[in-house]
C-alpha cells in the first residue's frame, strides 16, 4: 500500500449518500465563472511528498475549489491565501494553487479530514467517521511525519481522534486556538491555526502577517 493506492481508493469512495449526491450536483450545475470546467465531482485525496515531515490538515474540499479541480486547497480563495503564505516562508515552490497540473510542489503533505465537500461546510458525525480510515492510512503512509498543522478545529480534532485510537488521550486537554502547540503521546507535534477561510481573512481574524509568522515557527521545528 502506498499513497497512489490510497488516492485511488479515496477517489472511488461513495460511502456517504448525502455527500455523493451533493458533490455530483455541484459538478453538474457548476458556477457561472467555471462553466467551461470539467468538474472533478468526486472525493478529493490528499497530496504531497511521501517523506513529508509536515501534514497540513483541513476540514474538507471547497465546492468550487477542490470539488472542481480535484486537489484539496486548490482553486479557491482559501487556497490563494494559504499558498501565498506557504510560498513566502519557503514551504511551497509557488504562491498559487490553481489546478492539478500547475506545477505546485509542497514541502509537506496536505489533506482534509473529510474528503468530499459537505453542504454548508458541515459534515455530519457519521460522515466524519466514514473518512477516518482514510486519514488513518495517510498517517500510516507518512513514516517521517513530525508535525501536524490543524487548520480549523475539525482538522485539529481529527488528528487527536486518530491518536486517541492508540494512546490514552482526553480531547478536553487539547484546546484549539491559533498558534497552540502540543506534543502528543505518539510523539507528533500538533499545532492549531485559524482556517484561511474568506470569512476569517476578510474580518482580519487571520492576516497574512499572522499566518506567515506562525508558519515560520512551524518550519523551524521541521
Q: Where are the domains of the chain?
A: 3-220
Helices (H), the chain: 3-11, 17-29, 66-69, 77-88, 125-140, 153-164, 198-202, 208-220
C-alpha cell at 177: 486556538
Residue environment code for 10-28, b if the CB has 16+ CB neighbours within 10 A, otherwise e:
beebebbeebbebbbebbe
Q: Mention every residue, 6+ apart, whose C-beta is less than 8 A from residue 118.
A: 18, 19, 22, 60, 124, 127
Q: Which CATH number describes the domain made up of 3-220?
A: 3.40.470.10
The dihedral of CA 60, 213, 182, 1: what is its sign?
positive
pLDDT above 80 for 1:
no
C-alpha cell at 33: 465563472
pLDDT above 80 for 163:
yes
Q: Provide the pairing of β-strand 54-58 with 147-151.
A: parallel
Could you give the 3-state DSSP secondary structure of residue 54?
A: strand
pLDDT in the model for residue 161: 96
Average confidence (pLDDT) over 57-82: 97
pLDDT in the model for residue 187: 96
**Distances from the Cα of 78 to the Cαs of 63, 70, 82, 85, in angstroms?**
12, 15, 6, 11
* Percent of the chain scoring above 90 in pLDDT: 99
Q: What is the pLDDT of residues 89-146, one digit of tens each?
A: 999 999 999 999 999 999 999 999 999 999 999 999 999 999 999 999 999 999 999 9
pLDDT in the model for residue 112: 98
Amino acid at each position: 500500500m502506498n499513497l497512489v493506492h490510497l488516492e485511488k481508493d479515496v477517489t472511488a469512495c461513495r460511502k456517504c449518500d448525502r455527500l455523493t449526491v451533493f458533490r455530483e450536483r455541484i459538478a453538474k450545475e457548476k458556477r457561472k465563472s467555471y462553466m467551461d470546467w470539467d468538474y472533478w465531482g468526486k472525493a478529493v485525496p490528499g497530496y504531497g511528498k511521501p517523506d513529508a515531515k509536515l501534514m497540513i490538515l483541513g476540514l474538507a474540499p471547497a465546492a468550487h475549489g477542490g470539488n472542481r479541480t480535484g486537489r484539496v486547497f486548490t482553486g479557491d480563495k482559501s487556497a490563494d491565501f494559504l499558498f501565498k503564505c506557504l510560498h513566502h516562508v519557503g514551504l511551497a515552490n509557488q504562491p498559487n494553487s490553481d489546478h492539478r497540473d500547475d506545477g505546485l510542489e509542497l514541502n509537506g503533505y496536505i489533506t482534509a479530514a473529510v474528503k468530499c465537500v459537505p453542504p454548508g461546510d458541515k459534515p455530519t458525525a457519521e460522515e466524519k467517521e466514514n473518512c477516518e480510515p482514510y486519514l488513518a492510512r495517510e498517517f500510516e503512509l507518512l513514516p517521517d511525519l513530525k508535525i501536524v498543522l490543524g487548520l480549523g478545529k475539525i482538522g485539529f480534532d481529527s488528528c487527536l481522534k486518530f491518536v486517541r485510537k492508540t494512546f490514552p488521550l482526553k480531547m478536553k486537554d487539547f484546546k484549539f486556538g491559533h498558534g497552540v502547540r502540543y506534543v502528543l503521546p505518539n510523539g507528533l507535534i500538533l499545532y492549531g491555526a485559524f482556517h484561511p477561510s474568506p470569512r476569517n481573512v476578510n474580518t482580519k481574524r487571520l492576516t497574512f502577517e499572522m499566518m506567515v509568522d506562525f508558519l515560520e515557527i512551524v518550519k523551524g521545528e521541521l
